[in-house]
Amino acid sequence: MFLNKYNDAQAVIKPWSEVNMFCATGKASILFCQAIMTFDYHVIQDGLAALDLAMEVCNKKRRKQGLLASVSSILVGRRMDDCSNEELQAEVFHAGCNLLSAILTFIQVL
């Protein structure tokens, strides 16, 4: 038997996982690891749901842009100099959650 403590880690993170992007991403990462190790359909679904929740939490912290700023960032590129540390962390976490979600979706199709 493996001596992992996934349930203990989830119990610590769970109260904060809907508010704190670090905890939300941590919970999603734990469920991602479980899904990768088991390849169980239900665990993969739980992992995808946790990743979606983590992306929602990160979206609340990301920089909000208007239509004109969005179009100009596509054409010219986005300036990260004006972003706060929290906004940059949210961008990185959001990108990581997207990557993990793509991996789980790919595994789910197999």
Q: What is the pLDDT of residue 1?
A: 42
Tens of pLDDT, residue by residue, the chain (110 residues)? 456 787 888 888 888 989 999 999 999 999 999 999 999 999 999 999 999 999 999 999 987 777 776 676 666 766 667 788 999 999 999 999 999 999 999 998 87
Q: What is the pLDDT of residue 64?
A: 77
Q: What is the DSSP letter of 14?
A: G
* CA neighbor of 29 nearest in space, from 101, 110, 102: 101
* CA neighbor of 29 nearest in space, from 48, 8, 4: 48
| Three-class SS state of 33 | helix
* CA neighbor of 23 nearest in space, from 11, 14, 32: 14
Q: What is the pLDDT of residue 33?
A: 92
pTM: 0.83
